[in-house]
Chain A
């Protein structure tokens, strides 16, 4: 149940910036007046709006307004995934817990660096989680920073035009993943969820290396076609 004051605030916001979620619309500039009202709003008041946004819009709210309700929704969506991923990669329950906290804290702190043209929200958070895991397990100078810098250094990026429309592609990708033959989806899952090399995967599955390679290639070719295809 939304209290009257909350409805009022949301009403003002709706006219300004958040009529309904669309990735591009949510990225538009926020009018100063709207921003003032959003700052006035408290978590409880904003949550019905936050709950109706796609993750990309939530990240934008976190970036622009330091919106804790939007962040809470993101936490609900992705913290369980981060935990599941950490455990598949071999983390203990305790370190998975710690990792969830660290990754979601990075999401809060780095939301303003999120670029929706480059990746959808899930991919962005996945990459943060992967980098944190690598830093954590290896007890070595963190690689995260360096990878980010590699990206920055690349500067004005000629790759930009080759990029996919990340949100639409994500939907197509989800469908394509579901349609992969079981044997192909198995090698992808082991590769991504456990970080195994193809050689180690061949040992694990008791398959010749060539078989693992060709299954991986077939699966990725199919997904790449999906990611490349015009929307």
Chain B
């Protein structure tokens, strides 16, 4: 298996063509804020889209909407609301695509400790299309109990780092875990690890202790 710290080619294509479930889209957009390689690749895929867009066959009749539109050109432009002010830590940790959905400082979000040393926030504003997104804050040096994902899970590292079967990941990197892969990430020692985790299935701990705690935490 080739170690990668980027979204797969399939995911990038699906992101560009617009069909990717929104939570995954937000994660990919956030990764792009860190990753020049994927930005270039995205632009190439969009250029292909532009070529196919021009190649679209159109029906014979001319477009009739121009007059109506010309009359609207002088309408005032709606002003996009700026992002609400946040604290320094939040601005540093979260790339803009994510800050647009998380409109509060990190420390005032409703964190739940699901296992000792692991706290999560469910990001309801991003949840859609059968997939959901969470922020996961894991204490530095922690070994996460063995667990398995029913769906595909993408993790974008926002601070600290972690090592798993898939490789070593630092800020800006994306770890892709395919369904039914058992994994037990270990956090780097230097800093607590904040991640954006997106999945279209449930997470199940497979070890006895992990499972018991998961039941107790209602997670």
Q: Which residues of A contact B (CB under 8 A)?
A: 68, 71-72, 75-76, 79-81, 83-85, 88-89, 97, 100-101, 104-105, 108-109, 118-120, 122-127, 129-131, 133-134, 138, 140-141, 143, 145-147, 149-154, 157-159, 162-164, 166, 169-170, 173-174, 177, 188-189, 191-198, 200, 213, 216-217, 220, 223-224, 227
Interface string of B13-54 (1 = CB under 8 A from A): 110011110100110011011001101100111111111111
Whether the pair A140, B128 counts as a contact (CB closer than 8 A) is yes
B73 within 8 A of A: yes
Residues on A with C-beta less than 8 A from B97 are 146-147, 149-150
Contact indicator A120/B65 (Cβ below 8 Å): no
The distance in angstroms between the C-alpha atoms of A85 and B54, with both chains bound, is 10
For the A-B complex with A79-B65, A101-B65 known, give 12 more contacts whose Cβ atoms are closer than 8 Å.
A119-B43, A123-B46, A123-B47, A130-B18, A138-B129, A151-B32, A154-B33, A154-B39, A157-B36, A157-B39, A162-B36, A196-B17
> In whole angstroms, what is the CA distance A104 to B17 when docked?
20
In angstroms, Cα B47 to Cα A188, docked, is: 13
Among A88, A120, A145, point to the contact of B56 (Cβ < 8 A).
A88
Mark each residue of chain B from 66 to 100: 1 if its CB lies under 8 Å from any CB of chain A, else 0. Answer: 10111011000100100000000000000111001
In Å, the complex CA distance between A149 and B32 comes to: 11
Q: Is A170's CB under 8 angstroms from B47's CB? A: yes
The answer to whether A163 and B54 touch across the interface, beta carbons within 8 angstroms, is no
Residues of chain A within 8 A of B13, CB atoms compared? 191, 216, 220
Q: Select one of B22, B33, B57 contacting A84, CB under 8 A.
A: B57
Contacts A76-B63, A140-B128, A150-B30 given; indicate if A126 touches B18 (C-beta within 8 A). no
Shortest distance in angstroms between B151's beta carbon and chain A's nearest beta carbon? 12
- Contact of A227 with B44 in the complex, beta carbons under 8 Å: yes
B82-137 CB contacts (< 8 Å) to partner A: 95-97, 100-101, 125, 128-129
Write out the residue numbers on chain A whose beta carbons fall within 8 Å of the beta carbon of B54. 81, 122, 174
> Quick check: A84 and B50 within 8 Å, CB to CB?
no
List the B side residues contacting A173 at CB < 8 Å: 47-48, 50-51
Checking A109, A125, A127, A150 against B95 with a beta-carbon cut-off of 8 angstroms, the contacting residue is A150
CA distance A157 to B37 in the complex (A): 11
Contact between B128 and A141 (Cβ–Cβ < 8 Å)? Answer: no
CA distance A157 to B66 in the complex (A): 37
Q: List chain A residues, Cβ under 8 A from B48.
A: 173, 177, 188, 192, 220, 223, 227
Contacts of A134 in B (CB 8 A): 18, 25
Q: Are A189 and B52 in touch, CB under 8 angstroms? A: yes
Q: For the complex, what is the distance from the CA of A177 to the CA of B37, rounded to whole Å? A: 24
A109-B77, A177-B52 as given contacts; A75 in contact with B40, CB under 8 Å = no
Query: SS class of chain B's interface: helix, strand, loop or mixed?
Result: helix
User: Measured between C-beta atoms, what is the minimum distance from A126 to chain B in Å?
Assistant: 4
Instruction: Give the CA-CA distance A173 to B46 in the complex, in Å.
Output: 12
**Can you give 24 A-B contacts (C-beta < 8 A)?**
A75-B66, A80-B58, A83-B63, A85-B53, A88-B56, A97-B65, A109-B77, A123-B49, A126-B49, A141-B125, A143-B29, A150-B30, A150-B33, A154-B32, A154-B33, A157-B36, A158-B36, A162-B36, A164-B44, A174-B54, A188-B52, A192-B17, A193-B56, A223-B44
| Given A119-B46, A123-B47: A152 touches B55 (CB 8 Å cut-off) | no
Q: How far is the CB of A174 from chain B (nearest CB, A)?
A: 6
Distance of A119 Cα from B10 Cα, bound (Å): 22
Cβ-neighbour of B33 out of A71, A153, A159 (below 8 A): A153
